Amino acid sequence: MNFGQFSVSLTVKDIAKSKAFYETLGFTTHPECGSVVDKWLILQKDTTVIGLFEGMFEANILTFNPTDVRTIEKHLQHNNIEIDTPTQGESGPTHCVLKDPDGNVIMFDQH
């Protein structure tokens, strides 16, 4: 199974302040992926990707971007891993969300 790109989706209190902080660390903003006005954006430094989200999530999320989330979901179900939010539809973009044994949220998000 290929999990694709990994990123951390961070819930932030002030997206402009968080954007400035991560840019100081050398991250650059993807101009086509959200904005401060939209209250979400994606930043990258080398192969590290961070999503900043103000007011969208209650907790931070480990995010993977596979090319086939439905196959991953079937594998998880086959191994009795509970899916909190299942995929939708038979094809196209979708996502599924689950929690690890410690309650950390994991999202497999297929664009």
Q: Mean per-residue pLDDT for 92-111? A: 94
Q: C-alpha distances in angstroms, 89 versus 65, 78, 93, 94? A: 17, 19, 9, 8
Q: Sign (positive/negative) of CA torsion 62, 67, 77, 87?
A: positive
In this predicted structure, what is the pLDDT of residue 40? 95
Q: Mean per-residue pLDDT for 2-27? A: 96
Query: How many structural domains is the chain composed of?
Result: 1
Of 32, 5, 9, 31, whose CA–CA distance to 110 is shortest? 5
Q: Is the pLDDT of residue 31 over 90?
A: no
In this predicted structure, what is the pLDDT of residue 74? 96
User: Domain with 83 in it: what CATH number?
Assistant: 3.10.180.10
The domain containing residue 99 runs over which residues? 5-110
In this predicted structure, what is the pLDDT of residue 41? 95
Residue-wise pLDDT tens digits, 73-89: 999 999 999 999 999 99
In this predicted structure, what is the pLDDT of residue 111? 85
Residue-wise pLDDT tens digits, 37-76: 999 999 999 999 999 999 998 899 999 999 999 999 999 9
In this predicted structure, what is the pLDDT of residue 30? 86
